[in-house]
Amino acid sequence: MDEDDLKQQNEIIPVESGEPLHHDGEVTPQSIGYGLEKFAIVLKYFCGEVLKGAQKAHEDTPPEILNAIKPVKNARISVNVSPSLWAGKTPKAAYDALKAKGMADDLVAYVLARPQVDGSKTDKGKLFLPDGSDDSVYLKKFNGLIERAAQRYTVTFIK
Say how many C-beta atoms besides its own lie within 10 A of residue 24's C-beta.
Answer: 6
Strands 77-81 and 153-157: parallel
Residues 55-68 as b or e (16 or more Cβ within 10 Å = b): eeeeeeeeeeeeee
Confidence band for 25, pLDDT divided at 50, 70 and 90: low
Q: Compute the mean pLDDT over every residue in the chain, rounded to the nearest whole number.
A: 76
Count Cα atoms within 13 angstroms, Cβ side, for 52.
6
Q: How far is CA 64 from CA 49, 61, 70, 86, 109, in A?
A: 26, 8, 11, 49, 43
pLDDT of 20 strictly over 50:
no
How high is the pLDDT of residue 91?
A: 92
Tell me the C-alpha distance between 91 and 121, whole Å.
Answer: 10
The SS3 assignment for 78 reads strand
pTM: 0.54
How high is the pLDDT of residue 148?
A: 92
pLDDT of 96 strictly over 80:
yes
Tell me which of 152 and 31 has the higher pLDDT. 152
Confidence band for 12, pLDDT divided at 50, 70 and 90: very low
Confidence band for 106, pLDDT divided at 50, 70 and 90: very high
How high is the pLDDT of residue 135?
A: 87
pLDDT of 138 strictly over 80:
yes
